[in-house]
Amino acid sequence: MSLASALTISLSGIQATSTQLELTASNISNAATTGYTTKKATLSPATLGSIGGGVSVAGFTRAENSALYTTLTRATSSASLRETQNDYLQQVQDILGTSASDSPTLTTALSNFINAWKDLAASPESLVAKRQVVQDASTFADEIQRIASEIETLDRQGSNDISSTVSDLNSYLGQIKDINQKIAQATTSNLSSGDLQDQRDQLILKVSELTGVTVLERDFGQIALYTATGYQLVDGSSARTFSFDGTNITSIDNTTLSLNTALSGGKLDALVNFRATAVTVSTDPATNVIQKMRSQLDTIVSAFTTLTTSATSGEVTFATAYNSLPDVTFATTTLTNALTFTAASSGSSGNSITITFDNDPINVGNYMATITDGTTTEVYDNLSNGAVPGTNDLWTNLASAITTTPSTLVTAALEGTGNLDPTTLTLPSVPAYQLSGGHSIIVPVQAGELSTDFFTGTDRTTFAVNEALLNGTATAKAAAAPLVTDALLDSTRAFTTDGLSVASSNYTSLATSSLTSFQQAASNISTLNTTAEDARAYLEERYTNETGINVDNELVNLTTLQNAYAASAHVMSVVKELFTTLEQLL
């Protein structure tokens, strides 16, 4: 071997070792850099004619595990999906008041409202009880309105979140496209592209947080990126751009095609499904949530405003109970064991009648009713059949008697439009006051009381207490309290709405069931979120351990390379001395 060959070989060794030293130093300095992988130079022997010519850098490699990385991207998508679902369902709990240990405001307000009606039924003459009914009703209606408003705020937040997430997706895809081009240039120039590949891998993980992805290899180190459903995101030097119109995510290449289902997995999937509407809602706890909240709140409102009952017992609704009592002017008691009922006409004649219950002097132990308009008198006797009349017996028995022997006075006074119905000849039921001795009295709408429509509005956004009650121009109808209380407490009702179906229910259990359904949904997603995040963290740690920097190993490599560099340098020094000696000899 000539001295020139020896010099060339040692020089190639120094150059190769220098490259390796640079990579090793870079590895050590980036040991704490997220996503940085171990880089190495690939060496190959060089030749000088037919003899060895040293060594050359043939290329560069980085530590990677494609199968593990693919699993990590999928786990990242799943974790991001669950994290987003968990975040929004926790906000749902905050809105409904189910995240705290205290009783939710909605059920507390409803409970207070029901108790206020119970108190009014017990003390119908109490102005304080009347005011309390209105106050608690207002609190309940305000809570419905607050929840309805915050649902819409949450929906707008979700829409804005989708817009910003789509913007992030566009940015990441554009950066991947640019890095693809740089990697291709580095590859064709035999330059290291490891750092660029690390950057691209981190961007792919960011994309996988937004939507599920599949990575395909392309020529010159480039990649193609597809969604989990097969929709192309990036391919080499081209990338899609997306937009969001408030309902659908679309590509700017085709704004008529919704990609809501194409971008499955990840944050976008969670956000889109959270806000999505459907004819048949999903049973998934994190899908159609806004629709379920709106629908269930509307159902609660409808329970208080509808006149159609679902109770298997036949019990009327709250609205019917409040509206259906007799619309008469006043009733007064005249004797301890008798009462007088005066009905003002709702008809055009202006006639009025007085119905007086008293002891029946002929049928001892019974009661009789005298009906008069001041001129003509009608008597119905033997009304209690020898028994002590109960709460409603006198009225029921009088109605039966009038059915057998029609009352001209009742018909003339009310003309078919008033409080006693001459068509069916029935009398009002469920009196408001109890008299001593077990007699009962129907207390009609008193002066200043609101006769109908305690609540107004048709849905969660318009539900309110009647303005007349709020501004004090009218008070709650005391006569309605017993019927209303029975209606509120009846537990034979059935309610079906989006995401909720309950039977054998009352008004309180309807609200409780709704709140519980969302609380359970949040709990289920929270558990799934913890599991998904644990899986992602495990895979990330494992991938880092396999591809990241082992500082101890790199320090050993550094020492080895320093020795190799020194050896090559020593060879060059010896060759230089030999050249000097030969030069002196000549």
Q: What is the pLDDT of residues 99-136, one digit of tens each?
A: 876 789 999 999 999 999 999 999 988 999 999 999 99
Number of structural domains the chain divides into: 3
**282 three-state secondary structure:** coil
Same domain, residue pair 451 and 569: no
Whether 96 is covered by a domain: the verdict is yes
Whether 106 is covered by a domain: the verdict is yes
Q: Residue 427: pLDDT above 90?
A: no
Same domain, residue pair 296 and 328: no
How far is residue 310's CA from residue 327's CA, in Å, rounded to a whole number?
A: 26
Whether 506 is covered by a domain: the verdict is no
Same domain, residue pair 406 and 482: yes
Same domain, residue pair 482 and 386: yes
Q: Which residue has the higher pLDDT, 50 or 56?
A: 56
Number of H helices, E strands in the chain: 14, 19
Structure tokens at 490: 């009846």
Whether 538 is covered by a domain: the verdict is no
Structure tokens at 255: 């704004």
Quote the strand ranges of 262-419, DSSP E. 330-335, 338-344, 352-359, 367-372, 377-380
pLDDT band at 363 (very low <50, low <70, confident <90, very high): low
Average pLDDT over residues 320-331: 57
Whether 481 is covered by a domain: the verdict is yes
Closest CA to 544 of 217, 213, 68, 183: 68
Average pLDDT over residues 448-466: 94
Residues 158 and 277 sit within 8 Å (Cβ to Cβ): no
Same domain, residue pair 474 and 447: yes
The residue range of the domain holding 43 is 3-63+548-585
Same domain, residue pair 231 and 99: yes
Q: Residue 350: pLDDT above 90?
A: no
How many alpha carbons fall within 13 Å on the CB side of residue 516?
A: 9
Q: What is the pLDDT of residue 523?
A: 95
Same domain, residue pair 190 and 58: no
Q: What is the pLDDT of residue 554?
A: 83
Whether 218 is covered by a domain: the verdict is yes
Q: What is the pLDDT of residue 328?
A: 33
Query: How far from 260 is each of 165, 240, 273, 281, 378, CA to CA, in Å?
Result: 13, 15, 9, 16, 76
How far is residue 542's CA from residue 546's CA, in Å, rounded to a whole number?
A: 6
Whether 509 is covered by a domain: the verdict is no
pLDDT band at 166 (very low <50, low <70, confident <90, very high): very high
CA dihedral 412, 415, 418, 423 (to 10 degrees): 100
Average pLDDT over residues 350-357: 59
Q: What is the pLDDT of residue 411?
A: 58
Report the share of the chain in percent with pLDDT over 90: 56
Which H or E run contains 216? strand 213-217
Average pLDDT over residues 506-528: 96
Whether 95 is covered by a domain: the verdict is yes
Residues 75 and 67 sit within 8 Å (Cβ to Cβ): no
Average pLDDT over residues 427-441: 33
Average pLDDT over residues 35-40: 89
Same domain, residue pair 48 and 170: no
Segment among 248-252, 362-366, 376-380 with least mean pLDDT: 362-366
Q: Residue 12: pLDDT above 50?
A: yes
**Degrees, nearest 5: CA angle 315-318-323:** 100
Closest CA to 16 of 568, 573, 574: 568
Same domain, residue pair 284 and 156: yes
Q: Residue 511: pLDDT above 70?
A: yes
Beta-bridge partners for 343: 353
Residues 368 and 360 sit within 8 Å (Cβ to Cβ): yes
Residues 221-236 have pLDDT tens digits of 999 999 989 999 999 9
Same domain, residue pair 330 and 465: yes
Same domain, residue pair 280 and 422: no
Q: Residue 29: pLDDT above 70?
A: yes
Q: Which residue has the higher pLDDT, 51 or 273?
A: 273
How far is residue 369's CA from residue 45's CA, in Å, rounded to a whole number?
A: 125
Structure tokens at 543: 């991938």
Same domain, residue pair 329 and 267: no
Beta-bridge partners for 341: 331, 355
